[in-house]
């Protein structure tokens, strides 16, 4: 089955749930035997629970992790972070164009743009060149205004309250 029309979705904002929402969409798509590829920018650590789930849902769900373990320094990213993000953007463009996937999720690409790891023009080119039948999802905080404008759907997750502020660390199976 191919999608009649693939659109572009953006999940952004400072609230929790952007990656989780995209994974919910991936689960729905795999249930319909659509092929999904998620490329995770700046997520070299792990393993994350979604990667373990992808192994069970193969060949319908593929997750590719990119980046170094740890946090990228905003305003002063390491050169390796820039190189890995540039390679991930190139992989994303090839993946979108490959014809192999019905849904492509670029997880944390908005953050990679806002941190100066990848140029917004490269992301916009990828969006403009998307084949008609491919659904494209871009997640991450601080989505660039041009990305928001070019998208068909934009959802902003807004933090109202978060247990991290009460000292609850990331939990296995919930945040990672």
Residue 126: inside a domain: yes
Residue 30: inside a domain: yes
Give me the domain span that covers residue 58: 8-158
d(CA 100, CA 36): 9
Residue 1: inside a domain: no
CATH of the domain at 75: 3.40.50.300
Tell me the mean pLDDT in the region 82-86.
Answer: 95
- Count how many Cα atoms sit within 13 Å of the Cα of residue 46 in the half-sphere of its side chain: 17
Tally of structural domains, the chain: 1
- Mean pLDDT (the chain, rounded): 94
Residue 33: inside a domain: yes
Residue 13: inside a domain: yes
Q: Which of 108-112, 133-137, 161-165 has the lowest mean pLDDT?
A: 161-165
Q: What is the pTM of this model?
A: 0.94
d(CA 66, CA 41): 5
- Give, as one character, the DSSP assignment of residue 74: T
Residue 120: inside a domain: yes
CB 50 within 8 A of CB 28: no
Distances in Å between the Cα of 173 and the Cα atoms of 49, 92, 111 are: 6, 27, 23
pLDDT score recorded for residue 173: 84
Distances in Å between the Cα of 79 and the Cα atoms of 72, 73, 142, 155 are: 10, 11, 21, 31
Residue 142: inside a domain: yes
Residue 169: inside a domain: no
């Amino acid at each position: 089955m191919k999608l009649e029309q693939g659109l572009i979705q953006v999940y952004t904002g400072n609230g929790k749930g952007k990656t989780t929402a995209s994974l919910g969409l991936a689960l729905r798509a795999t249930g319909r035997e659509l092929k999904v590829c998620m490329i995770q920018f700046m997520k070299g650590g792990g393993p994350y629970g979604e990667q373990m789930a992808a192994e069970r849902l193969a060949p319908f769900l593929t997750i590719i992790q990119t980046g170094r373990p740890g946090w990228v320094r905003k305003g002063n990213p390491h050169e390796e972070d820039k190189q890995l993000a540039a390679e991930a953007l190139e992989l994303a463009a090839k993946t979108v164009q490959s014809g192999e996937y019905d849904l492509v999720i670029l997880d944390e690409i908005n953050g990679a743009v806002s941190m100066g790891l990848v140029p917004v023009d490269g992301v916009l080119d990828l969006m403009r060149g998307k084949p008609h039948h491919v659904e494209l999802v871009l997640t991450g905080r601080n989505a660039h205004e041009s990305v928001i404008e070019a998208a068909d759907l934009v959802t902003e997750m807004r933090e109202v309250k978060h247990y991290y502020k009460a000292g609850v660390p990331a939990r296995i199976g919930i945040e990672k």
